[in-house]
């Protein structure tokens, strides 16, 4: 669907205050759809147009955003490991940069995660590299890079057969 058509459809839903919750739900679903399909310009346009619909975007309401981001990153890893498409390394950085820009990693931080953050924040080189690559970073971003990405990579390589390692024990 064309973005202009989507705006028209959403504006027609916005005609009634009673429909505000439905509009908001549809808005978040569309943001999720654009994120999942890698249509970052459409995501950005829709995100920025929320003011036209009198909506405040709470990224925590975007359905399945962490799963979607992880899948986008794993897709890049698949391209690198199976197809030797090293340009996908840059795509990983672009995805993370985009998600950081729109604060898509925002979440409640648990007590154990706070302790992890205290330790990670002592690593000045780690933080300097993240800042150089991604600009201003949040605690949630640090946790995603430190905990989620390595976990996803581990799961990917443990579950995907490789011609170099016929069994997953060969990876270890």
Every domain of the chain and the residues it spans: 3-61, 65-171
Average pLDDT for runs of 10 along the chain of length 172: 66 60 90 96 94 90 97 91 77 96 96 96 96 96 96 89 57 51
Report residue 73 as tokens. 């990153």
Give the CA count within 13 Å in the CB-facing half-sphere of 115. 2
Residue in the block written with tokens 């439905």:
22
Q: What is the pTM of this model?
A: 0.82
């Amino acid at each position: 669907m064309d973005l202009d058509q989507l705006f028209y459809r959403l504006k027609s839903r916005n005609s009634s205050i009673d429909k505000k919750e439905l509009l908001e739900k549809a808005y978040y679903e569309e943001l999720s759809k654009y994120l999942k399909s890698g249509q970052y310009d459409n995501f950005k346009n829709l995100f920025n147009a929320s003011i036209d619909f009198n909506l405040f975007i709470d990224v925590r309401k975007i359905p399945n955003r962490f799963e979607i981001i992880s899948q986008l990153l794993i897709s890049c890893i698949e391209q690198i490991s199976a197809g030797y498409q090293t340009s996908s390394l840059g795509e990983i950085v672009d995805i993370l940069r985009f998600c950081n820009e729109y604060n898509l990693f925002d979440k409640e931080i648990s007590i154990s995660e706070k302790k992890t953050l205290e330790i990670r924040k002592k690593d000045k080189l780690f933080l300097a590299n993240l800042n150089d690559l991604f600009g201003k970073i949040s605690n949630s971003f640090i946790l995603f890079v430190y905990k989620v990405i390595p976990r996803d990579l581990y799961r990917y390589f443990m579950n995907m057969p490789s011609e170099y390692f016929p069994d997953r024990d060969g990876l270890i």
